[in-house]
Amino acid sequence: MTVAIAFFGEHRCLLGESPLWDADGQRLWWVDSAGCRIYAADADGAPQVTWQYDSMVGSIGLANGGLIAGFADHFALVSEADGRAVPLANVPGHDGSMRLNDGKVDRAGAHYICGQTRMGDDAAGQMFQLSASGARLQPLASGMRISNAICFSPDGTMLYFADSLDGVIRCHAYDPATGTVGAQTGTISLAGIGQAPDGATVDADGNLWIALVLDQAIACVSPAGELLRRIAMPMPYPSCPAFGGEGMETLFVTSIANSGHNLVTDHPDGGRIAVVTGLGVRGIAESRFQAGTA
């Protein structure tokens, strides 16, 4: 099978992140964090919605009735009908120096885990877990600078995440029934593989697909840390991969044109979304955050 890479329509972002395939609607969702927008397009890239907000949008997940979103300093449910964002919980102690960044719904659809990224130099960021019942917002890991690569094993019993500046993926036991994050079971070192893990996803075989934002590549590594593939991207600063499309066999990869900080490019394809086919692997459909039912 031959790997082919194209672009997803003419879509461009300043800070593209959080691609998310909606199998029910047969469409791709994603965000432009710096542009404070949420987008959706059909499988061929034809635009469907563009929603503008007053706050940066770090990440999104599917939810019953729409999306769950991590805005800069709060969580909200976003209506699928019109994009209206209904706040659910504020991030405690928010002072403007941090913002919510990468996030994923767990396999049970009961919790949304979202990390922070720094706006300064100190490692003060945390990861937060929002329960679908709205009864709990709790901090998890702390000491984060740029929280990224949040994803779950196929059975939901392993949580992966990274501080992009550390160059390792942290592996933690996870109980999908209760949302309990257990002890760290190990790490996946990216030494010799690539720099700065950004967004990540897991395929049906349990392997991790990681955006190497400073290396213009996507790496596929096993849970044991073995490099299985490394695929060069046609645009700088790939930020996050997600499987979708027919059979969950297409890999969509967002990218960054101008993060508002260190990552800036004048490349003509900066900020576009790459579409990778012919990989011979399948992804896993993301669960829906069951707001109000957990």
pLDDT confidence band for 144 (50 / 70 / 90): confident
Q: Which range among 56-60, 126-130, 203-207 shows the weakest confidence by mean pLDDT?
A: 126-130
Alpha-carbon span 221 to 60, nearest angstrom? 24
For 64-95, write each residue's pLDDT tens digit: 999 999 999 999 999 999 999 999 999 887 77
**How would you class 277 by CB atoms within 10 Å of its CB: exposed for 0-12, middle for 13-18, buried for 19 or more?**
middle
Alpha-carbon span 49 to 190, nearest angstrom? 36
Q: Which residues pair with residue 113 across a beta bridge?
A: 104, 129
SS (H, E, C) 48-90: EEEEECCCCEEEEEEECCEEEEEECCEEEEEECCCCCEEEEEE
Alpha-carbon span 76 to 82, nearest angstrom? 14
Query: Average of pLDDT values for 108-123?
Result: 84
Q: Which residues pair with residue 171 across a beta bridge?
A: 160, 186
For residues 124 and 180, the model is more confident at 180
For 209-243, write each residue's pLDDT tens digit: 999 999 999 999 999 999 999 999 999 999 999 99
pLDDT, residue 294, reads 41
The number of helices, as runs of H, and strands, as runs of E, in the chain is: 0, 24
Which distant-in-sequence residues (6+ apart) come within 8 Å of 44 by Cβ? 9
pLDDT, residue 252, reads 98
